[in-house]
Amino acid sequence: MSKKDLKLMLINNKIAVIGLGYVGLPLARLFATKYPVIGFDINRKRVSELNEGVDNTLEVSSKLLNEVLLKISNLKKGLFCSSDLADISGCNYYIVTVPTPVDKNNGPDLTPLIKASQTVGKVLKKGDIVIYESTVYPGATEEECVPILEKVSGLKFNIDFFVGYSPERINPGDKLHTVENILKVTSGSTTEIGKKVDALYASVITAGTYLAPSIKVAEAAKVIENSQRDINIAFVNELAKIFNLMGIDNNEVLKAAGTKWNFLPFKPGLVGGHCIGVDPYYLAQKAQQYGYNPEIILAGRRINDSMGEYVACQIIKVMIQKGITIKGAEILMLGVAFKENCPDIRNTKVKDIITYLEDYGIDATIFDPCVNSDEVMKEYNINCLNVLPKQKFDAIVLGVSHNEFLNIDLEIIKKDNAIVYDVKGFLQYEVDGKL
């Protein structure tokens, strides 16, 4: 297919983005600057808020959202959000951006992906292309999603309809590395479809695209990106444990080692969120299906999943050293989001710290000005305050490095013998403990 043919092909695009969360909305907004886009989500409240120009994930500003929002769905370009299946029936590209979590046993939970595929299958027509962005194990798109599309639509794969895969690389809360500024990996179920998918993304992604030779290669590339980060963070978390035992400041060790040009600048901490704390399990289970037990990947997961308990034990140790009675002690936890300057609470490991502290009879108060308190209660049954409490505490723990926390006068909320534990090494304050 020539460049001229690709350009002509792009003219008549109408895109449906399935799932308007942290990944789908920024992508839909970007495509809407050039194409007619229908943003589809089953959450009617979310759709209503978006149509009013409000994104409670804070990934897309009201200004940018209102620049592309439409009240009707039949103009040349712009974004129309809907929960009505009929509104996406006239599209020729369907981009699926639903989450791919793990279950209670850390096995891949493809339920959202399966339901999204069923939804698309109901409106799929001849010639349509379905592109998946959700992180999965290699083979999931063609082995799990395609059969559902065929069954529901009654169409034949690679004859009547086609599939692509372009893994999301969104970094929630990051206003520098936005979707258009991150190089996009693309792929297609045939060589020609790969070129079409690549051309579609290349038309809006200013950072450029990379066309992978197959869908499985693109799937594998995505899942190892986060697995690699997980392993590197696990390494420095293990170093933190070792150097704490030796009485050596781990942060100073990393700072000294970082003077070498090829030393990787990872820092210890809690590994939660929708990607790094989840995706390695997808690769691990698939590897086990092939008879291989991935030792390094799972070892990294064990270390990082243990950090909540480890931090809680370190906090209690410091409290005991300062003569603070543990049972009934009052602790203020600063932050419950999974990362700094972001309202995203998915798979937050701060919850683990809170759970272990409460198991010791400690009374924990959680303060996070960035998150939705109702969502925290619904997801974790934790009461979270959005306003700093005025009482004094036996211990103050920084779990998330929100910029707002730098402005807190800790002396006002500390009891006389209180400790301050800085999980993130963020506070500009003399602390009693840190990772």
- Give yes or no: residues 12 and 60 share one domain: yes
What per-residue confidence (pLDDT) applies to 70? 84
Residue 248 belongs to a domain with what CATH number?
1.10.1040
CA trace torsion 118, 119, 122, 124 (10° rounding): -100
What per-residue confidence (pLDDT) applies to 12? 76
Q: Is residue 220 included in any domain, yes or no?
A: no
What per-residue confidence (pLDDT) applies to 74? 63
Q: Is residue 221 included in any domain, yes or no?
A: no
- Give yes or no: residues 47 and 164 share one domain: yes
- Give yes or no: residues 46 and 160 share one domain: yes
The count of domains in the chain is 3
What per-residue confidence (pLDDT) applies to 173? 82
What per-residue confidence (pLDDT) applies to 388? 95
Q: Is residue 259 included in any domain, yes or no?
A: yes
- The DSSP H or E segment spanning 420 is strand 414-422
- Give yes or no: residues 180 and 234 share one domain: no
Catalytic residues: 275
Which of 215, 243, 267 is at the close of a domain? 215
- Give yes or no: residues 133 and 193 share one domain: yes
Say whether 4 sits in a helix, a strand or coil. Answer: helix
- Give yes or no: residues 339 and 409 share one domain: yes
Burial class of residue 93 in the structure, from the number of CB atoms within 10 Å of its CB (0-12 exposed, 13-18 middle, 19+ buried):
buried
Q: Is residue 373 included in any domain, yes or no?
A: yes
Residues written for the chain: 435
User: 223: which 2 tokens?
Assistant: 């899942």
- Give yes or no: residues 282 and 204 share one domain: no
Of the candidates 49, 4, 7, 1, the residue with the CA atom closest to the CA atom of residue 25 = 49
- Give yes or no: residues 136 and 34 share one domain: yes
What per-residue confidence (pLDDT) applies to 6? 53
Q: Is residue 224 included in any domain, yes or no?
A: no
Which of 160, 182, 215 is at the close of a domain? 215
- Give yes or no: residues 149 and 166 share one domain: yes
Q: Is residue 400 included in any domain, yes or no?
A: yes
- Give yes or no: residues 299 and 369 share one domain: no
Residue 198 belongs to a domain with what CATH number?
3.40.50.720
Amino acid letter for position 257: A
Range of the domain at 185: 3-215
Q: Is residue 222 included in any domain, yes or no?
A: no
What per-residue confidence (pLDDT) applies to 100? 94
Say whether 280 sits in a helix, a strand or coil. Answer: helix
Which of 151, 183, 215 is at the close of a domain? 215
| Mean pLDDT per 10-residue section of the chain, whose length is 435 residues | 57 91 96 95 96 93 92 78 95 96 92 97 98 97 98 98 96 86 97 97 97 98 95 96 94 95 94 90 95 96 96 96 95 95 94 96 96 95 95 96 93 94 88 87
Burial 122-155 (b: 16+ CB within 10 A, else e): ebbeeebbbbbbbbbbbebbbebbbebbbebbeb
Q: In DSSP terms, which residues pair with 421 in a beta bridge? A: 397, 433
- Give yes or no: residues 170 and 196 share one domain: yes
Of the candidates 55, 112, 56, 48, the residue with the CA atom closest to the CA atom of residue 80 = 48
- Give yes or no: residues 329 and 388 share one domain: yes
- Inter-axis angle of helices 307-321 and 350-359, nearest 10: 50
Of the candidates 183, 184, 337, the residue with the CA atom closest to the CA atom of residue 270 = 337
Give the global pTM.
Answer: 0.92
Q: Are 192 and 164 in contact (CB under 8 A)?
A: no
